[in-house]
Chains A and B, each alone.
Chain A
Amino acid sequence: MRNLQARYTRDRLILLVVIVGTILAALPLTLVLGYALVNGFSSLNWDFFTKGPKPPGELGGGMAPAIVGTLVITGVGLLMATPFGIGAGILLAEYPDNKLNPTLRLLSDTLNGMPAILKGLLAYVLVVKAQGSFSGFSGALAMAFIMIPIIAKTTESVLKLVPWNIREAGLALGLPRWRVILSLVLPAARAGVVTGLLLATARAAGEAAPLIFTAFGNTLLTLNLSQPMDALPLRLYAYAISPYEDWHRQAWAAAVVLLGLIVLTSLLARWVTRGR
């Protein structure tokens, strides 16, 4: 055993290293947020939310089609993903003995980690290639592919938090199992399930990669899902790599709006599950 003083010194040195490491870990995020807020807020204006993009080189314009497009694409994607995600979550949590479960859990986690761009590629092969045109629908499908495993995972974990007593009470009253799940377990876990949906939405809404070759982007405002549709991350990317100063400004504004959407969703999720 080395002498005590040396051990104490070593302990303090390690603490120093740990603190420096923590600061380094937090540094990139702080910088990204800081720059996005400073550059973004100074370029936000009313036009950004109400006008469409101007032709290259012209000043002004905004991202109204992109904002609407992001809402539509993620909304439709969420509608498509919800039944599948919640269904899988119910199977994993409520039927623990099902033979499919170990495989399902493994595949679900694997799918969750798979690159989003591959899910976009699948939507491209299934829809865009088959129909011969880019469309908002194919983008929404890619979003749904991203959301399903996330919803499955969160639903499973919140359903497992519901005490077994509740299920036993329901069964003792003579309710069949499906009624117990639908009328007792799901309502008890409602807040958590909603949180899962919000998290999945937030994750998918920021993805640009799978939308490049599905929703494609559009400078005109459209609600037609069979047409190419714009999305905020997509427009941000297009503007960021453009040579125009004014478009760079708008890209930063898009970044801060996107961040705002995500922080809002995560705060909403915390609010839904408050007091837990």
Chain B
Amino acid sequence: MSGKIDVTINNKKVSIKEDTWLLTALEAENIKIPVLCHHKDLTPDGSCRLCMVEIEERGKRKMVTSCNYPVRSEIKVFTDSDPVKKHRKQLGEFYLGRYPNVPIIKKVAGMCGVTKIERKPYLVDENSSACVLCGHCIRACREFAQEKILSFAGRGIKRHVAMPFEKVDPHCIGCTSCAYVCPTGAIQIVDDLNNPLDPQLIRDHGMKVNAEMATLDDQQCRMRKVGTANIVDVMDNYDLLPINNYQYGTHEEVWKIDSWMLQRKYFTQGLPDGCWKGCSMACAKTIDNFELKTGPYKGQKVTVDGPEYETAAGGSNMGLFDMDAIAEFNFYCDTYGIDTISAATTIAFVMEAFEAGIIDTSVTNGLEMCFGRSDSVLELLHRMSRGEGFAVDVGKGIRWLKNQWNKTLNLTDDQKAFLQDIGMEVKGLEVSEYVSKESLAQQLGYGMAVKGPQHDEAWLIFMDMVNNELPTYEDKAEALYYFPLWRTWFGLYGLCKLCWNDVTPADNKMSAEPQKIPDHVHNYFKFVEGMTGRKLDEAGMLEESARVHNFQRLMCLMLGKGRRNDDYMPFRGIGPVTVKEYESRSDRYDKQLKEIVGFDPEGKPVEEKLARLREYREEQYDKTLDVVYRRRGWDNNGVPTMERLRELEIDLPEIVAILEEYQKSG
């Protein structure tokens, strides 16, 4: 978008990206400029004036502060001209005169050529950790914590940093950002919470997260503005947003339910709303004064907690491109205590079965369960809450519905197979809202997840499909070993995983394993070390996590769902089920058949192409299961081996008993 601009810096020509701050450009040229109010992670302020340089634009010379001067035209810059030196010296005198004992001031004044002052000013602060009014603390409070606890008070020479009404503000969350960025030590930290072993270590890494949130979030995921809803736009762009029970991945009406719509028309408050006060991401978003159109609270204005990505995408999965309906669905699911993902996925399944003619209104108690019918969706929810008829069946989930319909409806084998293919559940849990057809990693992430196909344990779709960080088969298989363990690890410590990957360091792409975001993984290790004193590395983390993960797998086995058979995805999650689905992306599938499967699709009927593609993809799935089981130390039925249990030191009698029971029954 921005072009390059030729700028002459001290008679040297350089090319600079448009809208770069001049100071950044000067620093890139290794030119030392004295600064005080400037901080690399905070919005430039231009108040200390130390970074002033002289520029010449259209023949006219003037002084500008380089920190907040955007380069937009071909200027000449002079960083060392007489006026610059003269003004710098005067500023240095002011600062050194007023704060003679503050180390940073001495250093900055030295850069301005001032070591002792000629005129003693009226106000002198002898304190060596005096506040020098740089404003770092105030900006950190706003930009890191999104709070407004600190501000300047007093005009002119009376300017000082204060909390509201000059009192200690109880709303201060004690995040210590202000003290952290203070260059003079004027703000002191008193650590009296939880007795961490090394609070400074935690702080050093926490502030890195804060700074990244403040500087990068707006360009990356906009978590502070729209929360996880930003993913709607991304998934739609990459053909991964579930539409009509995962049939398709994109739709022309998505703009009606995307994050921009939410930001412009729905989300209110505009306040940081995190799980805990002090979270610098604060991604929770709400809609206030939302007037309900149905149900027991019809006509009332309520606050909707959300919608988040999964709820909005659940909407598109049911064919709803109406944010009002999605918000109402969101509110009533929350109010009735119904999970929005399971509800949306189950209803999407019901809708497809309805449209395919497998069920009709005699089954649905008169509800027209077509895609896009928000009235039916909401009425179904209300009936579910009242425990009425068909709605109760839907409430029991997809697996139950499939069994019930197989038993009670007079279905053909084809119809039964079709229901099996499109009923998006694994281990009895409904699949969360991503189209995994083109992502082998995500298919197995869902299929192998011990707790069922949610996105907590293996959310690989983004790194696989959007960032393209798992290009090879080996990468994908390895990711299925590493990431479920890494993501389980968050649960062990009760830590939020959003600040691991919902903002990434600017230079993450340059790291050895960008999909792991090593810099952020390291942050977590340091949090543990700072809290407990125990050093942690990747191997240690994986071992800790594997213990729990294997234990979970055996629990799963004990409950009858921990074998290979339980790890398969319905085919809708692996590839196209219907002719229509195939035809909607035929270029992609034809290409794959031709280039990878080695089957020439030219002139072949779609049914045949579908069958060949299915064969290939199921084979891939099976093959990958074998590889990953082996990597995890499980047998080819997906059960942990005794050696693995011993290795992990979880060969406790009760656990061994479960394994022996399995081996006995074969």
The finding on whether chains A and B are genuine partners in a shared complex, rather than unrelated, reads: no
Q: Using a CB–CB distance below 8 Å, which chain B residues touch chain A? A: none
